[in-house]
Amino acid sequence: MAKKEHLYIVFENLIKIKSECSCEIFSECGLSDVTVKQIGYLKVIDEHGDVTFSKLAKITNHSKPTITEMINKFARMQCVYREKSPDDGRIYYIRLTEKGQRIARAEEKALLRVIEKMADSLDEKEMESLIKLLEKVR
* Confidence bin at 1 (pLDDT 50/70/90): low
Q: If you average pLDDT over every residue of the chain, what do you get?
A: 89
Per residue in 84-128, pLDDT tens?
A: 989 888 899 999 999 999 989 988 888 898 899 889 999 999 999
**β partners of residue 96:** 80
Percent of the chain with pLDDT over 70: 99
* Confidence bin at 27 (pLDDT 50/70/90): confident
CA 95 → CA 38, 79, 121, distances in Å?
A: 15, 9, 39
Per-residue pLDDT averaged across 24-48, rounded? 84
- What three-state secondary structure class fits 3? helix
pLDDT at 39 over 70: yes
Looking at per-residue pLDDT, the higher value among 110 and 81 belongs to 81
The span from the first CA to the last CA of the chain, in angstroms, equals: 21
Half-sphere exposure of 75 (CA within 13 A, CB side): 12
Q: What is the DSSP string of 40-56?
A: HHHHHHHHHSSEEHHHH
The per-residue pLDDT for 3 is: 86
CA distance 104 to 80: 11
Percent of the chain with pLDDT over 90: 46
The per-residue pLDDT for 32 is: 67
Per-residue pLDDT averaged across 26-39, rounded? 78
